[in-house]
Amino acid sequence: MKVQEKTIVVTGGGNGIGRELVLALLARGAKVAAVDINDEALQETVKLAGDNRSKISTHVVNITDKAAVEALPTQVIEKHGSVDGVINNAGIIQPFVKVNDLDYEAINRVFKVNFDGTLYMVKSFLPHLLKRPEAHILNVASMGGFLPVPGQSIYGAAKSAVKLLTEAMYAELINTSVHVTVVFPGAIATNITANSGIEIPKSANGDQKKSGMKTLPASEAAKQILDAMEKNKYRALIGSDAKFMDFIYRLSPKFATGFIAKKMAGLLK
């Protein structure tokens, strides 16, 4: 679905990939409803939009609040007249610890933001999208949603749930006007750790540098995500690391699991 002249809702629009998605959508001629829990971050996104700021509406919403999300479609339609697409981008990671050391409060928080928030958005907007001549739902999963990453096991489980939800929705909506895409970003240069309230263990810094792990700029990730949306792709791998690990995991899941475990070992010391 071409985004020009369409109204697209983006969660997590106040920073990182979400902010870059908002700015890139505006550059492609779309109108955007930017959703985030942080109003100050949203206003910074508006400021960065420059001459396109008139095409943005901002909505301060906690996506784990089902009632607040259910009220959002009416707010977006009142502002823009319609809604044509939803990009579920908002997400948080977990503390870099093993399952045995992770408390249930952190577990529940990670699932509520990553999975429940995505589900609430889908359930709230889908009835409106089905009325449009053409519409699109794009859900951001993660490389950790198909590849087990030690120290991010619960985050990966939540993103794996997003993956399967999205793929099942694709099948359910295949004969409708609503396109569905799931994307799997690898390492992207964002501040997701800080936004998640997480600190990377200092002991991991040297190991990450030795691994040669490179991060993709958030602006490039946003471009690739929107390209996938406009091409109505079923799935898209964002970044060379995601593409490489997808290939390796399909070839030998056990080898890939051991490989990524060695790469991430410094995070769990």
Torsion angle (degrees, nearest 10) of CA 136, 230, 185, 40: -70
| CATH class of the domain whose range is 7-202+216-240 | alpha beta
Global pTM reads 0.93
**Taking the chain, what is the end-to-end CA distance rounded to the nearest angstrom?**
46
Active-site positions read: 155
Residue 207: per-residue pLDDT: 46
Residue 213: per-residue pLDDT: 58
3-state DSSP assignment of residue 27: helix
Q: pLDDT digit of tens for each residue in the chain (269 aa)?
A: 999 999 999 999 999 999 999 999 999 999 999 999 999 999 999 999 999 999 999 999 999 999 999 999 999 999 999 999 999 999 999 999 999 999 999 999 999 999 999 999 999 999 999 999 999 999 999 999 999 999 999 999 999 999 999 999 999 999 999 999 999 999 998 777 666 666 666 544 444 444 455 789 999 999 999 999 999 999 999 999 999 999 999 999 999 999 999 988 877 76
At residue 187, φ and ψ (nearest 5 deg) are -80, 115
Residue 215: per-residue pLDDT: 87
Which residue from 72, 187, 92, 91 is spatially nearest to 140, judged by alpha carbons?
91
CA pair distance 58, 46, nearest whole angstrom: 8
Q: Are 4 and 26 in contact, with CB atoms under 8 Å apart? A: no
At residue 151, φ and ψ (nearest 5 deg) are 85, -10
Q: Are 148 and 134 in contact, with CB atoms under 8 Å apart? A: no
Question: Beta partners for 230?
Answer: none
Q: How far is CA 137 from CA 11, 185, 190, 208, 243, in A?
A: 12, 17, 23, 34, 22
